[in-house]
Structure 1
Amino acid sequence: MKFAVSYSTPFQGMDPDKLVAFAQHAEACGFEGFYVPEHIALYPGAMFGRMELPTTLPYGDPLDLLAFVAAATDRILLGTAVLLLPYHHPVVLAKRLATIDVLSKGRMRLLTVGLGSLAGEAAAAGVDFASRGRRTDEAIDILRLLWSGDADGVSYSGEFYRFENLTSFPHPLAPLPIHIGGSSRAAARRAAHRGDGYFPGGALSPEERAAQWDLIRTTSARDNLDYTRWAPTDLTPQTVEAFETQGVTRLVVNPATLDDLSAFAERLALTP
């Protein structure tokens, strides 16, 4: 089992010293990865489940945050949970992600993308809310196409994006895995057909989780997909075993303090 941490600037703040200290301590404790979330904009009435999101929550740009963390660390992998892919132009995004990967010496390995659930956020980005799934599918294909292109360039013609003979260098040091985040059967199908892994949301029943993972396993042409899950910080070796029996390969926790990071690492016997 691999273990990663999530740092949520809306709740842990944007203090740069605290961010760096948290990432460095997570790395020293032996955590594999460091995740950050994304919202590009909030507004009155924006809901996360049954909770209204305060409009002043400081959601930092996830890729800027990860570049900042990469400069202050050496080993920890960089991830998003989740990057709202339909609100990013894939040609621009391909360049940003590849740049972070090269400058971090190949650590942009935990990219997780999702559709977003706030209609007002889609409107603010100029995206038709109903089209965001199809946009995401095209964007995933374009990212991989641009990262595999040669000096002659690549071309694409889809419903939302079109270009001819484009090149995008630098390429990532190795092909970037693209994990799919979400809480729906549609997200599970996207993971099966286009993803390198699945990272479902936290508010699913055990039966629905099992059904979605079974859908992925039975419809994907691959048998080595990553299966990432959120987990509580009070995990024990016994509860980790329970996750393993469900096929989970990575657990992401959100410790609040450096002491919480240390206690988790000691309890689960993590090693740097």
Structure 2
Amino acid sequence: MKFAISYSTPFFGVDPDRITAYARHAEECGFEALYVPEHIALYPGAQVGAMAMPPSLPFGDPLDCLNFVAAATERILLGTGVLLLPYHHPVTLTKRLATIDQLSKGRMRLLTVGLGTLPGEAQAVGVDFRTRGRRADEAIQVLRLLWAGDDRGVSFDGEFFSFENLCSFPKPFGGTSLPIHVGGSSPAAARRAGRHGDGYFPGGSLTPDERAAQLELARSAASEAGRDPAALEYTRWGSMDMSEERVEGFARQGVTRIVVSATAPDLEQQREQMSAFARRFGIST
């Protein structure tokens, strides 16, 4: 089992000293990766499920935060949980992600993308909320096409994006692509993960039976697309106080990675939580 940790910018803030201290301690504890969330813009009345989203929450840009963290760490992988893919132009995003991967020497490896649930956020960036699933599918194709292309250029003609003989450099560190994980708790997200993703990271409040059905849906979609369902990584949210029995239960469900987050407001207490978790599960390096 792999263990990663999330840094919640809306609750912990974007103070540079705090985020680097948090990331460095996570690295010292042996956590595989640091995840950062995204909201591009909020507004009064925004709500995700039953949770109201105060418009003053300081969501830092996840890729800028991860680039900053990369410069202050050596080994920890970089992840998004989740990047709102329909609200980014994939041509620009191709270069941003490859640049971070180059500068971090190959650590931008846990990109997780989702669709977003706030109609006002889509409207603010000029995206028809109803099309965001199709836009995301197309954007994944564009990212991989541009990463794989050479100096002769590649072309694409889709519903939302179109270009001819386009070249995008630099490439990801040591290769021609980056893993793309798919987040989301809907059946559509599970199918997207199977068809297009390297991993599936569902959130939401689902029953165990619903989670099992969606994992099976992701795997069957992978098989139908001619992809290896066994290669699909399965990431789940956990908690700092989770027991060994709970982790063993996740493993039986096919989970390959658990992401937790510190809950204490104080940095020193957060460090203590990370250290205790690392000792409990023997992940200290």
When normalised by structure 2's length, the TM-score is 0.94
What is the CA-CA distance between 1:51 and the residue it aligns to? 1.4
Partner of 1:196: 198
Q: Is the 8 A contact 2:184 2:204 kept in 1?
A: no
What is the CA-CA distance between 1:216 and the residue it aligns to? 1.4
What is the CA-CA distance between 1:236 and the residue it aligns to? 2.3
Partners of 1:164 and 1:246 in 2: CA distance:
44
Amino acid at match of 1:17: D
Amino acid at match of 2:47: M
SS at match of 1:58: coil
Partner of 1:252: 259
Matched, 1:243 2:219: no
Partners of 1:203 and 1:24 in 2: CA distance:
31
Identity of aligned residues (%): 66
What is the CA-CA distance between 1:237 and the residue it aligns to? 2.1
Partner of 1:8: 8
SS at match of 1:188: helix
Partners of 1:48 and 1:219 in 2: CA distance:
27
Amino acid at match of 1:230: W
Partners of 2:206 and 2:153 in 1: CA distance:
42
Partner of 1:141: 141
2:276 pairs, out of 239, 263, 268, with: 263
Cα offsets for 1:191-247 (capped at 9, x unmatched): 010000000013112111111001112231212110000001112222111000000
Partner of 2:91: 91
What is the CA-CA distance between 1:255 and the residue it aligns to? 1.2
What is the CA-CA distance between 1:13 and the residue it aligns to? 1.2
SS at match of 2:235: strand
Cα offsets for 1:154-206 (capped at 9, x unmatched): 00000010000000000002320000000100000000100000000131121
Superposition map of 1:159-178 within 5 A: 159-173=159-173, 174=175, 175-178=177-180
Partner of 1:49: 49
Partner of 1:215: 217
Matched, 1:37 2:24: no
Partner of 1:225: 232
Partners of 2:16 and 2:243 in 1: CA distance:
31
Amino acid at match of 1:188: A
Partners of 2:43 and 2:50 in 1: CA distance:
15
Partner of 1:77: 77
Partners of 2:248 and 2:26 in 1: CA distance:
22
What is the CA-CA distance between 1:141 and the residue it aligns to? 0.1
Number of matched residues? 272
Q: Where does the alignment leave 5 or more consecutive residues of structure 1 unmatched?
A: none
Partner of 2:266: none
Partners of 1:210 and 1:32 in 2: CA distance:
25
SS at match of 1:136: helix
Cα offsets for 1:82-117 (capped at 9, x unmatched): 000000000000000000000000000000000000
Runs of 4+, deviation exceeding 3 Å: none
Cα offsets for 1:26-64 (capped at 9, x unmatched): 000000000000000000111021011001000000000
Partners of 2:164 and 2:219 in 1: CA distance:
36
Q: Where does the alignment leave 5 or more consecutive residues of structure 2 unmatched?
A: 264-269
Amino acid at match of 2:190: A
Q: Is the 8 A contact 1:236 1:268 kept in 2?
A: no
Partners of 2:181 and 2:59 in 1: CA distance:
21
Matched, 1:108 2:108: yes
